[in-house]
Amino acid sequence: MRFLLIFLLSTIKCFPQSDTTFLYLSIGESHYESDFTKYGKDFSGFINIPEANNSAELMGDYFIKKGAIGKTITSSENSFVTKKQIIVQTKRLSQLSQKLVKSGSYVVVLIYYCGHGLRNSISSSPLIVLGNITYNPEKADYTKVHKDFIGIDEILLRFDTNTSVFLFMDCCYNKYEYVLKPPNKFNINVDLLSEIIVEKQNEIKNRIMDNYIFRKNMYVATAANIDSCVSTFPNPLNDSGDYVGPICRRTLLYSAISPSSRIEDLVKKLQEVDFDLLTSPILVKSRSNITGSTNP
């Protein structure tokens, strides 16, 4: 079975049609470490996902057609997408969004990730699995996993409360057990929080944390229910035999049916049960209902 994780950020409410700016980052991680001599004990590796790069490219094209500004990054056989790359790109989006907000624009950030993914056992917060992972996360402690993987906090916490952010996960959403429990009940990366406090020296630590935990303009959507795996599906717009993730497939279908539709219309359509019989509707939660709770 082919497994897929896709991360996308958008918004659920109706956006103001004037002075709204869409920013995007589309990421595909198709390649994973194949040198078994680098594998740790009890680790059999993550399979490559050719569909991940394809989906990321197609979603990037869709965002551009809708007027979004951003970038698509994908892996290659000799070059994985790294944690540093993703963090650098999200920082750039955050800095640009702050400038746009100050100029009077309403900003919506869309981040789409396609590759392997996991869910931790403490909350339903997802983790991005990067191509260079060579050990079994179930055999590693919390600190190591959050050093090498990417949690949603490390992406979402970088954006101010006046920017709308929506995280779509078309993912293998299986949980795994930590050897050690996280350092705080909200599952927030403390080192990351400290870094952001240094960047924003005029803000108070508790205020940053409170604003983040209870924010209502951050959303996370999954293409599968909790503890589920996700398969890829045929591209509905051609007969070439290429496969895409479920959210990508639904996006392509809707863009073909309604080419003049808005991004917010797409988000609503993705949630409809009967829109595409091959794929499941996305499930949307606000960020405050995801991290810090053991129930999705």
Q: What is the CATH number of the domain that holds 245?
A: 3.40.50.1460
**Which two three-digit tokens encode residue 260?**
């003049």
Residue 295 included in any domain: no
Name which of 17-21, 76-80, 163-167 the model is least confident about. 17-21
Cα separation, 165 vs 167, in Å, equals: 7
Structure pTM? 0.81
Alpha-carbon distances of 76 from 81, 227, 248, rounded to whole Å = 8, 29, 20
pLDDT score of 271 more than 80: yes
* pLDDT bucket at 61, cuts 50 / 70 / 90: very high
Residue 188 included in any domain: yes
pLDDT, tens digit, 9 for 90 and up, residues 196-222: 445 554 444 444 444 444 455 766 666
Residue 109 included in any domain: yes
What is the tally of structural domains in the chain?
1
Residue 17 included in any domain: yes
Structural domain boundaries, residue 227: 5-289
Cα separation, 18 vs 41, in Å, equals: 55
Cα separation, 155 vs 183, in Å, equals: 19
pLDDT score of 18 more than 60: no
Alpha-carbon distances of 14 from 59, 96, 188, 223, 263, rounded to whole Å = 21, 22, 30, 22, 10
Residue 190 included in any domain: yes
Residue 296 included in any domain: no
Cα separation, 245 vs 235, in Å, equals: 9
Rg of the chain on CA atoms, in Å: 18
**Which two three-digit tokens encode residue 30?**
């198709």
